[in-house]
């Protein structure tokens, strides 16, 4: 089983990171992809992932941290990817318009566009964060003629938006949100799209599963998300695990040996 989006490098896991990994193995989670968020954290992220074959990483500047980021970080991203060919994707990148002014949004758009260009150049998939920004993201992907596909993290849009992403070569990540009965729109989208377009994710330590509100989320809870997806789609959980693992392996080239 593969957690395609987990921030295991965050300090919330500093006290028991290896114990969490051991518990993951016990429940069948054997691969975790950690997206980058800030340029200042990339080196420590790489070192963490190089210590175990369970962990893979992506590099990117997260839109939420855009005010802490500088244009020089884009040059650094190019250099880091050149120096670390084992990087699996460019991410976590995207647009977050939840609580941002026009100046902030303009900077986000610039960083998003430039990072898509880097992903295109290195032929890497993109891991995309969205918040009140689906239309702008889809428009940018089309304008940039982005050809590498990737993952739409924590998808929560409409079926029409989902189909637009699928048409652009993306897969959709589903995590803790679909465990909440109130997430009826997202559940309906999940029910309609093919399992070949679905990725399992936790976004740990955030996005806790229903019943664990206020507690640290963890990749060891991924089997519960797989079970919810199986129930929603009316298929067996083993089918969900097998297909989503194949989806992640194909998208992020996990079957390729690390260099």
CA–CA distance, 218 with 225 (Å, rounded to integer): 11
Model confidence, pTM = 0.97
List per-residue pLDDT tens for the chain, 259 residues long.
999 999 999 999 999 999 999 999 999 999 999 999 999 999 999 999 999 999 999 999 999 999 999 999 999 999 999 999 999 999 999 999 988 799 999 999 999 999 999 999 999 999 999 999 999 999 999 999 999 999 999 999 999 999 999 999 999 999 999 999 999 999 999 999 999 999 999 999 999 999 999 999 999 999 999 999 999 999 999 999 999 999 999 999 998 654 3
CA–CA distance, 204 with 223 (Å, rounded to integer): 14
Helix and strand numbers, DSSP H then E, in the chain = 9, 8
Q: CATH assignment of 2-252?
A: 3.20.20.140
Domain extents for the chain? 2-252
């Amino acid at each position: 089983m593969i957690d395609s989006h987990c921030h295991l490098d965050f300090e919330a896991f500093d006290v028991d990171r290896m114990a969490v990994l051991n518990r993951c193995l016990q429940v069948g989670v054997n691969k975790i992809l950690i997206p980058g968020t800030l340029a200042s954290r990339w080196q420590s992220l790489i070192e963490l992932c190089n210590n175990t074959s369970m962990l893979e990483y992506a590099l990117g500047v997260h839109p939420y941290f855009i005010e802490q980021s500088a244009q020089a970080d884009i040059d650094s991203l190019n250099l880091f990817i050149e120096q670390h060919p084992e990087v699996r994707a460019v991410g976590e990148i995207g647009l977050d318009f939840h609580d941002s002014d026009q100046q902030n949004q303009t900077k986000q758009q610039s960083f998003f566009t430039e990072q898509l260009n880097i992903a295109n150049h290195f032929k890497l998939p993109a891991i995309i964060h969205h918040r009140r920004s689906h239309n702008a993201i889809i428009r940018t992907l089309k304008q940039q003629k982005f050809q590498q596909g990737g993952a739409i993290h924590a998808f929560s849009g409409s079926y029409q938006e989902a189909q637009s992403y699928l048409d652009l070569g993306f897969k959709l990540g589903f995590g803790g949100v679909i465990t909440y009965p109130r997430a009826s729109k997202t559940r309906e989208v999940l029910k309609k799209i093919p399992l070949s377009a679905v990725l399992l994710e936790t976004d740990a330590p955030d996005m806790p599963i229903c019943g664990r509100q206020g507690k640290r989320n963890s990749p060891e809870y991924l089997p519960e998300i797989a079970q919810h997806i199986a129930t929603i789609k009316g298929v067996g959980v083993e089918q969900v695990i097998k297909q989503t693992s194949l989806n992640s392996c194909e998208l992020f080239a996990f079957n390729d040996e690390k260099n």
